[in-house]
Structure 1
Amino acid sequence: MYRRSFALVAALAAVLVLVPAALAARVHVRVEGKTQTIFGSTEPTLNVKANALDALDAASLAGEFYYHVAPTAFGPYVDQIGRYPALPGSPNGWVFKVNGIVPPVGADQVTVKDGDTVLWYWATFTGAAGPLTLEVETSIVRGKRCFFATGRNDAGRASRVRGVVFTLNSRRVGSRSGVLCTRLGRYAVRVAKAGAIRSRTYSGR
């Protein structure tokens, strides 16, 4: 009798452990700091409970970095990630995008679903709009592998970006045109520009 009851309790406990993971969304997460990537340059997939704030929490657990949330009249506010706090009255702070777009509400109000991409980043605001988020696009042109730098604004609209620095397999290459062409092969590529958010790492042929 006791053995049967113990087995039942153990089975129930296993179900309770598995339910949260089953209900979690599988979300790509990246955190870009002031001077370097804090977590997920390749945007790995994590189990995220419900929203964009939970995505930061999942990344914090996976990457073992500190973050702080302050309660405000408008809801929870992320005022520090890693070593950099957002100081009151400063034009700098922590912002997030979901699928390339800055939502008009707080991170706890943005529900995420399987396949979404959440980016948290340190931003400096010099006007009404935030910094561009860079991306690497690629195609084969005349037998060469070419990489193109693009940037997305807060609304997610993309445009070509000039005057960038590509990191091509750990080698830094400046490009005034925002285009870099090289021989065919396997590459890990990122693009950066002063005042913009670094791209994720493109990896492939």
Structure 2
Amino acid sequence: MYRRSLSLLAVVAALLVLVPAALAARVHVRVEGKTQTIFGTAEPTLNVKANALDALEAASFAGEFYYHVTPTAFGPYVDQIGRYPASGSNGWIFKVNGIVPPVGADQVTVKDGDTVLWYWATFSGPAGPLTLEVETSIVKGKRCFFATGRNDAGRASRVRGVVYTLNSRRINSATGVVCTPLGRYSVRVAKTGAIRSRTYSGR
């Protein structure tokens, strides 16, 4: 009887561990710091308990970086990630699927396939910085990359005056377009005042 009780307890304990993971959403997460990517250059998929704040917690656990949350009358406020605390017009913002939500991170429920981006921003006007992305297509037998940027509402537009990192090589592009012979590639794009893109890989 004693052994049977221990076995039952072991099964219950295992279920308590497995059920939260099964209920978690599989979410792409990236954290862009002031000067470099803190976590998730390629936006890995993590188990996220419920919301965008939980996504930061999951990334912090996976990437072993520090963050701090301060309780406020409006809800939890992320006032530091990594080395940089929020101060004055600088602070930490998040986007879900390319859009800045009108509510706090703890109020934004995430689901399988969502993308959560936390980033350092300087607030200098009504609009936040563009989030850069890389589009690609084959043009006249070459692989071409096109820099685009999404605003806070998720609307995309072409971006000029960018710097690509293509297979570890830095390429300045006044037009926002760069073409290369076909083959395997790893590429991301950056621009002063914008949020770096994730790393795109393929061939």
TM-score range, shorter chain: over 0.9
Q: Measure, in 1, the Cα distance between the counterparts of 2:93 and 2:154.
A: 14
Aligned residue number for residue 194 of structure 2: 196
Aligned residue number for residue 45 of structure 1: 45
CA RMSD of aligned residues (A): 0.5
Fraction of identical pairs, as percent = 87
Q: Measure, in 2, the Cα distance between the counterparts of 1:197 and 1:92.
A: 14
Deviation at 1:6, TM superposition (A): 1.1
Q: Is the aligned partner of 1:119 residue 2:84?
A: no
Tell me the secondary structure at the aligned position of residue 41 of structure 1.
Answer: coil
Aligned residue number for residue 145 of structure 1: 143
1:171 counterpart (163, 169, 172): 169
Aligned residue number for residue 56 of structure 1: 56
Deviation at 1:5, TM superposition (A): 1.3
Tell me the secondary structure at the aligned position of residue 17 of structure 2.
Answer: helix
Q: Unaligned regions of 5+ residues in structure 1, if any?
A: none
Q: Residues 27-78 of structure 1: CA distance to partner in whole angstroms, max 9, x if unpaired?
A: 0000000000000000000000000000000000000000000111111000
Aligned residues: 203
Q: Measure, in 1, the Cα distance between the counterparts of 2:5 and 2:120.
A: 53
Aligned residue number for residue 84 of structure 1: 84
**TM-score normalized with structure 1 length:** 0.98
Tell me the secondary structure at the aligned position of residue 53 of structure 1.
Answer: helix
Tell me the secondary structure at the aligned position of residue 188 of structure 2.
Answer: strand
Q: Measure, in 2, the Cα distance between the counterparts of 1:140 and 1:118.
A: 29
Q: Unaligned regions of 5+ residues in structure 2, if any?
A: none
Instruction: Name the amino acid aligned to 2:134.
Output: V
Aligned residue number for residue 75 of structure 1: 75
Q: Measure, in 2, the Cα distance between the counterparts of 1:174 and 1:94.
A: 28
Describe how 1:19-30 pairs up with structure 2 within 5 A. 19-30=19-30
Deviation at 1:91, TM superposition (A): 1.4
Q: Return structure 1 stretches of 4+ with deviation > 2 angstroms.
A: none
Q: Measure, in 2, the Cα distance between the counterparts of 1:68 and 1:16.
A: 28
**TM-score normalized with structure 2 length:** 0.99
Deviation at 1:125, TM superposition (A): 1.6
Deviation at 1:101, TM superposition (A): 0.1
Tell me the secondary structure at the aligned position of residue 105 of structure 1.
Answer: coil
Q: Residues 139-180 of structure 1: CA distance to partner in whole angstroms, max 9, x if unpaired?
A: 000000000000000000000000000000111000000000
Deviation at 1:132, TM superposition (A): 0.2
Q: Measure, in 1, the Cα distance between the counterparts of 2:23 and 2:117.
A: 21
